[in-house]
Amino acid sequence: MGVAYDHVGPWTLDDVLALGEDTHQRVELVGGALLMSPAPSVPHQRASRRLAALLERAADEAGADVEVLEAVNISVPDGLLIPDLVVADAEAAAEAGVVLNNAAVLLVVEIASPATRLTDRKLKPALYAAAGIEHYWRVDLEPAPTLHTAMRNGSGYRDLATVLPGQTVQIDEPLPLTIDPARLAR
């Protein structure tokens, strides 16, 4: 069960960081309010780890000076978010402490679950776009693993591809990667 927080007024980044790590839920900050979601399920974690491995391999093969990170705090203009995966500039990631600056992030990936489906489809893409993050991917695990890729276009994202399980697609940006979303599930 999650922790109850005793706090008056809008939350700040410093307030949230002072809470410490919570292993039962993710605590994010949007507009002075906390956004909480349960810890990821096993299928969610499996998909995250498998996609991280694919991204790491793609980065190595491309010789890209990036790092793939899971569940890292990133700053956005209106708060603090914890995407499931990020591909970030390696030097900036090496210098980061508790929070990775949004300017260092090339790609964010959210793996939608029943508890996060709405925020991953509506709220977070708008916040990531406002933060200037060029690429946003969403993985829907239900009813079957599907990958949605998008690229920033002004104040939002333009959909690039929806990749269904059993389909293999070549993605060129931000890393060259061939993927079939079915490989993200058991």
What domains are there in the chain, each with its CATH number? 41-184 (3.90.1570.10)
Mean pLDDT (whole number) for 121-148: 94
The band of 3, judged by pLDDT with boundaries at 50, 70 and 90, is low
**Pairing of β 135-140 and β 105-112:** parallel
Query: pLDDT by residue (tens digit) across 37-75?
Result: 888 889 999 999 999 999 999 999 999 999 999 999 999
- pLDDT at residue 6 in the model: 78
Structural element, H or E, at residue 181: none
Residue 48, Cβ neighbours under 10 Å: how many?
20
The band of 1, judged by pLDDT with boundaries at 50, 70 and 90, is very low
Is the separation of the CB atoms in 144 and 29 below 8 Å? no
